[in-house]
Amino acid sequence: MDETVTRTPTSEVIDLPLDRIDAGNNDRTVFPEEEIRELADSIRENGLVQPITVRPHTSIEDMRFQIVAGERRFRAHQMLKVSTIRCLIEDLDEEQAAMVMLIENINRKDINPIDEANAFQSRIDRFGWTVEEIAHRTGKSTGVVQARLNLLNLDPDVQDALANGQFWIAGAADIAALDWNRQRLCVNAYAHNPKMTGAEWRALTRRLYKEQADEAQGSMLDPDDFMVVAEYVEISKQEQRPTTKHLIDLVAMMIPHMRFVAANASGATNADALRVECERICDLFDIDPNSERIRSKAHEMSSPPTE
């Protein structure tokens, strides 16, 4: 063991040997080599601006450290073939480290949506965090967090395409509640017709949702509920800016469809699932989910039917 490496108090900044540092459970799975090379060139020229954050994770005898934040900077140092890196040592437990890592990664614009979704799901599985807790800790709305989690319902091949930038996030969100066969049909249709218009895409997904609803739920949905997006597309074609009132009317019309999506994703039709889905749609349209009409329609759809 290197005698120069000793146990240090919390929050101390020191140089640590690279061979004493291990990668943590990073939420990011993609580290493009070209980006790491550019970062290495910057560090070579300007030095390391911000130390990486690590935590002790073995016994005093082994004296190893785990990366909490800064794996890209660590990889850049490896590429430069230097022996040490400046580190901020923090005495953090697993959950505290997971919190720091989540904030570090989610605040980066280049994290892909699937890595973000898996990061959220990991905290739910490992520490029992709720959607509301994740939203509070990341500064996102519950609707956005749930929308990301819904992406994990996608077929693995569709997830890969989304993670690699071969498919777009709005389209993925559109099909997340379809079964995998219908998801693949949508992706293949888009791949063979990349100039597909928004109206054509919506028509395809509406038809597939109707087929799926007819198979699984009988007459649960009125097909007219799916025409709301077509109406919104028509407004856009006419280059008219819809008023807030009109958008609220549209979202209220969509609530029966949201009821189906929430039920499909969570396995149960309930007020909480509907509320989260309603917040997601309202967030997309930038309107208040607490408007009287939306709350009234949501309450109507979440109430048990009367005999």
Taking only the tens place, the pLDDT of each residue in 165-189 is 889 999 999 999 999 988 998 888 8
Per-residue confidence (pLDDT) for residue 221, from 0 to 100: 39
Residues, the chain, total?
307
Task: Write out the catalytic residue numbers.
Answer: 71
Taking the C-alpha atoms of residue 77 and residue 173, their distance in angstroms, rounded to an integer, is 37
Backbone angles phi, psi at 152, to 5 degrees: -75, -5
Taking the C-alpha atoms of residue 45 and residue 271, their distance in angstroms, rounded to an integer, is 56
Per-residue confidence (pLDDT) for residue 150, from 0 to 100: 94
Stretch 258-281: mean pLDDT: 57
Query: In the predicted model, is pLDDT for residue 117 greater than 80?
Result: yes
Q: How would you classify the pairing of strands 12-17 and 21-22?
A: unpaired
Residues with Cβ within 8 Å of 291's Cβ and at least 6 positions away in sequence, in order, are 248
Per the listing, tokens 């005698």 go with 3
* Cα end-to-end distance, the chain, whole Å: 76
Stretch 203-231: mean pLDDT: 65
Query: In the predicted model, is pLDDT for residue 300 greater than 80?
Result: no
Taking the C-alpha atoms of residue 230 and residue 206, their distance in angstroms, rounded to an integer, is 10
Edge-to-edge strand ranges of the sheet holding 52-56: 12-17, 84-89, 52-56, 65-69, 21-22
- Contact (CB, 8 A) for 208 and 297: no
Taking the C-alpha atoms of residue 227 and residue 225, their distance in angstroms, rounded to an integer, is 6
- pLDDT-based confidence at 239, cuts 50/70/90? very low
Residue ranges and CATH numbers for the domains of the chain are: 12-97 (3.90.1530.10)
